[in-house]
Structure 1
Amino acid sequence: MSRAQAESVIKKIIREVVQRCAQRGQPVSDTLVAFMVKAVVLDPRNGFNDDRTLTKQDIQQLEELCLDQLMETCSPSLDTIKMQVYFDMNYTSRREFLEDIHQVVESNLSTVSREITDSRVKTREELDALYCKMVSYILLRSGMGSPTDVSTMQEATAALQSVFPQTELGSFMVLLKRDKEQQLRELTMIVTGIRLFNKANDKREEKTDLYKLIPAVHSEALRVTSTGLEEDLSLSQSLAQKYTAVLEKLTDPDSQCEECDVPILRLKQALYNVRQHEAFLSMLLPAFKALSQFWIGLQDEVELLNILNNIRLNLQPFTASQAKLFSEAYLDGLLGTSEVKTDEQRMVESSDERIVPAEMKTQEWLLPETACFNRIPLQYNGICGYTLVNRDGLLLPGNPHVGVLKHKEKFYVFSSKEAALKFASCPDTFIAEVAKKVKRSPELIQLLKLYQQFPSLSPYSEMQPGEILLVKPIKCESGTQTDLHPVETKIVKSYEWNEWGLRRKAVKRTDLCTKVTHSVQTDLSHMRRENVTQTWLSKNTTCQSKRDGESHVPKPQTFLAGLRGQRDANMIKANLTRSVDE
């Protein structure tokens, strides 16, 4: 199947699945469907092969499998994938968030700015109206008050008059539009600083807390959002610890579990769901803390805070299925007298167990004493790969203090020394088993950050609808060669700097005009002997006939008979030379 054909087939499958989901009352995005198609193809239980061309029956089977998984109700696995898609499509870097906020602010203020920069005032009343527009623009851009508030307008007007009196409007009007916009931005910063300084002085304190100057609405938003985030994160961590303890108890080969009908698969999917929710909230937490520490960019931070808070609220529905399947009481019943350990407690318990590199000379181990130890990129997002395989999908965080295994330029952590030693005995085998586990639970691909191990998959935010899903990436070795001096040198060979050389050329060309054969004379052939001569090809010295050129003397020929076959036979000599007369 060619690349163009594969793209056409995948687009058709995605479009068909999206339409059929919409007909069943479950609208889904193209990105979600695209990932689900990849997950179905990767799962070895479905029997698809990347190297084989999909038949019409295969396409129908692929569509049905995708529909079954997308239409599944109360599925923690599906909710985890939806959560991942939503987060990656809505969360981006701080710089990009602020760029979008600035674009929205510029778009909202473009009308007011255009009225100020394009105005052509002539009367006193028009000048007063223009000055009021400038004060309104400053208030809207700084976010410190509303132009409809009379006291705020008076305060901002007084601050503006101290640096830009109304008599300066004449010089402002003769500026170019670009210079007017630049001056408006500078006036906004100056007036905002003056108002903040005045408010700080009104406190009459030796050390003014700038956070007390934050408007009440913004302070409430900071408090509510931070509290909500901490509560959600605490709940997810508590659930993750409970699920881990339950699965640890149920998957322990030494324990005798009485509950035979416990849905272990659903419990694992629920664990993956809350772990992913915890990971996303942990990514948001530093942003919230940073937002509460900056005052200078308060307006930008509050807008960014609202966006992050909306993302946090929209993540909550994706944890509903696991909460509906396994209530707190049900989990407590499964736990019984078992202890629920936090990740920190597990770290403390296993910190005393450390790998001795001298005893493990066949592998390279890194210990906390290693430089830049805390910045080592851990494989599987810090999860113990041995436990994931040996305990059938249980997620236990690894403890770097036990020792970090470096294998094929990748770094692996483990929950205990025993797990580290067993994994190090045959790491390639465990890595392959982890890949099999991940193929059966596609939500683990992002949770464990295994995109490099599955090159046909990419983060949701980087996927495009119709992206080739079943075609392996084309790889080839290539090389380039560049010139030693890429910049081409331009040397004019006919250039002459010597005045006498120029005179010599002039005399030569003048002399050419007086020659009879001047039409065939050139600069190179003038007054020179030709170095190449034209000659006739040499003739053959031999006779050009069939007869020999020698004398016609017959060539002597003699025949000897009776040399073979008989021991005592006599040799007969016959003269076969032809006669001269012939």
Structure 2
Amino acid sequence: MEEIEEVVQEIVAGCKAHKVTVSPLLAAFCARTILEGDSVSFALEKDLSDDDVNKIIEMSIARLLERDSPSLETVKMQVGFDSSHVTAEERVRNRRNRAEEKKRERHRDIISTKPLDSNDFDSLTTLYREIFSLLTKTRDGDDYDGDVRRSVEREVAAAVESVFPRIGLKSFVQLSAEEKKQQLDELASIVTGIRLFNKESGKGGAGLESVEVLASNKVGELSDIIQAELEAVNDVCADYQEAIVFSNLRKPEQVTEFMIQRWKDELSNRRQYLSYLQSLFEDVSKCGGKVASLRDMYLSELDDLGSLVGGRNSVPKEHVYPKFDKIARLWNSIADELEVLLSREGTLNDLADFKGSYTATLNPASQVLALARDAPNLSTEEEAEAARAAVAVADGVGAAAAEEKAEEKEDTEEKKEEVPKGSVPADLLPVEKRPQVLSVDSTPEFMQLPLEYQGFCCWTITNRGGLLLPGKPGLGVVQYNDTFYVFAHEVALQAFLDDPVKYCKGVKDTAMKSPELIHLLRLQNEFPNTAIAKLMGGEAQPKIEEGGIPLGFDAPKEKKDQSTETPTHFIEKNIDPSYEWNSWGLRRRALQTANLRKCKTTSQQTDNSHMRRENDSQVYLPKTSSTMTKTSTGTCTNKEITYVGGLRGDTSRVKTKGVVNLSLEIKPTINKGTSHR
């Protein structure tokens, strides 16, 4: 529905006209649940007409104007708790972001101050004052007030004089921007550690709170409050459960169907209240464990530092500075946990507004509750008979017909019962998708299994009109489609094994009629459009507990502005490193490749060849060398030939016989553009 914002505004205005203040988030949730719950009147696949929109607005206003309605108060509690949780987380995140931004601004001012040289006294003085101002701020980046500020300045001045004297500015200005930031963070941490050590010694620490004591006290205070409230709400839920079960089974005359339905709504409200208390108690317990661990480390470091310093006048800085730094970091971590505890305290105070937001119709002095406590417990057979009667009523048949049907099923198993619409019997499912019963002996992590529907019996929810009864893991845990279910009795377990699809669909149908069950049973995946996280803008992310169970909603994800710089025209560099433009280079490479392919090295060590050298194991052809010139010229000397004449031919013509010395002149040749070898 694209007009959701206009519809929400109309709903808020309509409630305001009746002097009832409604938040836009609550109005949106109510409109969404009506839209999805009444699928007959409002087909989701079709566009809504103006009459449909007006009808949704009227139904939402009528729903929100209900007086003393436990189901409406449950919805208000769900919206209020998630909104408060997100608001508290966002407040803490914004405070930290502001403090970090102030620190970055001061870092930029310090880094941008660049003296001309080591003799620029004015710039160095300004730089030192900016560093000193950075060290005298609170964790939030603000200034201290009055006398506290002057005490802090004196302590910081004494600490800076020993850690970072003015002479160190000359080397500081030579560092890079990133190195300056790192050194400033280390300097602030060491100075804070010195002040914390002086505070522990009783010699200073102005403006620094004992966060380790405050956090420990806050953990104990919140734990006691939530624990006491948990015990009280558990007793109330037990009373409602006992009265409702007794009324369904014994049918007392003074109890009407309207009273039972009212008790169911009140029980759902108390179950939701109990669930949120348990979520807060788990958060506080986790914070308490972290605080205890950090506090022990913090006190241990202080003791080690005290024994190291002792009464000595001077201690090597390489020994004490790391400890000062660690003490400051531990103190900051404890302060962060204290902020989380304070935010949980705010959420607990907001939740307390729903403790008595409706008029309870059942109290410990009720006559029905007294009868329920005095009544004997049902036997297994009576409990099974009552369960069959409940199924018969839910299916629209009488108890006698249900009993007859059960007997007929036992006599003739070959006859198949009619399968209700939307139901798939277990014997028609594939073997790998059929439900399986897990026991303690067969499952090592039996007690850590994440139970579906928060551990409530889906059979009871379907057949008892949304009644929330906790299952009994001792009967066995049923695994179906990678989810785990528990049941209140054997009849419920066996019914689910016979037809799991029926009861999973039954829970969804019941939640459509009672929207407060959507978040109570954690069915946000089944109704994504009604998820409070989505209605808050789609930015809040569900908070996941260990084991995959959502407990609420964390703050929206932090967003930052980012940019990338790209060139206007990309330069393509298609360079082939193996390309050779010179033909002689190609010839040289071919000869080298051919030479390498012919070279083979083989060796075999034998007794005869041991310690002998073989020169012909490798043969390398002589390297061909040549010179490229534009014009090649050469000179030739006379060729001297010496021989003995008169040894052959006609001896009559030869006058003398003897050695002949002959000199021949050879003319040189000139080649242009060729190589001469």
State TM-score, norm by structure 2: 0.57
**Residue 513 (structure 2) pairs with residue 440 (structure 1):** yes
Matches within 5 A, 1:166-177: 166-173=166-173, 175=175
Partner amino acid for 2:583? E
**1:499 matched to which residue of 2?**
583
Distance (whole Å) between structure 2 residues aligned to residue 466 and residue 114 of structure 1: 35
Distance (whole Å) between structure 2 residues aligned to residue 288 and residue 143 of structure 1: 31
Distance (whole Å) between structure 1 residues aligned to residue 490 and residue 253 of structure 2: 26
Contact 1:140 1:147 in 2 (8 A): no
Contact 1:139 1:156 in 2 (8 A): no
Shift of 1:28: 2.9
**2:193 matched to which residue of 1?**
193
Distance (whole Å) between structure 1 residues aligned to residue 537 and residue 140 of structure 2: 39
**1:387 matched to which residue of 2?**
460
Contact 1:147 1:153 in 2 (8 A): no
Contact 2:280 2:344 in 1 (8 A): yes
**Residue 271 (structure 2) pairs with residue 271 (structure 1):** no
Distance (whole Å) between structure 2 residues aligned to residue 125 and residue 113 of structure 1: 16
SS at match of 1:318: coil
Q: Out of 427-436 and 141-150, give the one that drifted further.
A: 141-150
Contact 1:381 1:449 in 2 (8 A): yes
Distance (whole Å) between structure 1 residues aligned to residue 500 and residue 479 of structure 2: 10
SS at match of 1:411: strand
Distance (whole Å) between structure 2 residues aligned to residue 325 and residue 432 of structure 1: 31
Matches within 5 A, 1:295-314: 295=294, 296=330, 297-314=333-350
**Residue 254 (structure 2) pairs with residue 258 (structure 1):** yes
Contact 1:76 1:319 in 2 (8 A): no
SS at match of 1:457: helix
Percent of residue pairs identical: 30
Shift of 1:101: 4.4
Match of 1:230 among 227, 231, 234: 227
Shift of 1:220: 4.8
Shift of 1:444: 0.5
**1:426 matched to which residue of 2?**
499
**1:48 matched to which residue of 2?**
42
Shift of 1:462: 2.5
Contact 1:131 1:166 in 2 (8 A): no
Distance (whole Å) between structure 2 residues aligned to residue 13 and residue 96 of structure 1: 27
Contact 1:139 1:146 in 2 (8 A): no
Contact 1:142 1:299 in 2 (8 A): no
Shift of 1:187: 1.7
Partner amino acid for 2:279? M
Distance (whole Å) between structure 1 residues aligned to residue 344 and residue 529 of structure 2: 27
Match of 1:317 among 335, 340, 353: 353
Instruction: Note closer, same or farther for the CA distance 1:139–1:80 as it changes in structure 2 (3 Å cut).
Output: closer
Matches within 5 A, 1:103-142: 103-107=97-101, 109=103, 122=122, 129-130=129-130, 132-137=132-137
Distance (whole Å) between structure 1 residues aligned to residue 511 and residue 464 of structure 2: 14
Instruction: Note closer, same or farther for the CA distance 1:314–1:363 as it changes in structure 2 (3 Å cut).
Output: closer
State TM-score, norm by structure 1: 0.65
Distance (whole Å) between structure 1 residues aligned to residue 435 and residue 108 of structure 2: 68
**1:291 matched to which residue of 2?**
287
Matches within 5 A, 1:330-479: 332-339=366-373, 363-369=435-441, 370-454=443-527, 456-463=528-535
Shift of 1:122: 1.6
Distance (whole Å) between structure 1 residues aligned to residue 67 and residue 476 of structure 2: 42
Distance (whole Å) between structure 2 residues aligned to residue 429 and residue 452 of structure 1: 18
**1:181 matched to which residue of 2?**
181
Distance (whole Å) between structure 2 residues aligned to residue 77 and residue 221 of structure 1: 33
- Cα RMSD between the aligned structures? 4.2
**Residue 64 (structure 2) pairs with residue 28 (structure 1):** no
Matches within 5 A, 1:83-162: 83-91=77-85, 99-107=93-101, 109=103, 122=122, 129-130=129-130, 132-137=132-137, 148=148, 150-162=150-162
Partner amino acid for 1:227? D
**2:240 matched to which residue of 1?**
243
Shift of 1:395: 0.9
Shift of 1:157: 4.1
Instruction: Note closer, same or farther for the CA distance 1:68–1:189 as it changes in structure 2 (3 Å cut).
Output: same
Shift of 1:68: 0.6
Distance (whole Å) between structure 1 residues aligned to residue 124 and residue 46 of structure 2: 81
Distance (whole Å) between structure 2 residues aligned to residue 409 and residue 215 of structure 1: 43
Q: Render the CA deviation track for 1:349-375: whole Å, top value 9, x for unaligned.
A: xxxxxxxxxxx9974222223144344
Contact 2:136 2:143 in 1 (8 A): no
Q: Out of 282-291 and 147-156, give the one that drifted further.
A: 147-156
Shift of 1:183: 2.3
Shift of 1:310: 1.0
Distance (whole Å) between structure 2 residues aligned to residue 337 and residue 161 of structure 1: 80
Distance (whole Å) between structure 1 residues aligned to residue 501 and residue 28 of structure 2: 30
Partner amino acid for 1:165? P
SS at match of 2:372: coil
Instruction: Note closer, same or farther for the CA distance 1:224–1:116 as it changes in structure 2 (3 Å cut).
Output: farther
Distance (whole Å) between structure 1 residues aligned to residue 9 and residue 113 of structure 2: 52
Shift of 1:313: 0.9
Partner amino acid for 1:287? D
Instruction: Note closer, same or farther for the CA distance 1:443–1:143 as it changes in structure 2 (3 Å cut).
Output: farther
Contact 2:438 2:478 in 1 (8 A): yes
Select the structure with the greater relative contact order (CA < 8 A; seq sep ≥ 6): 1
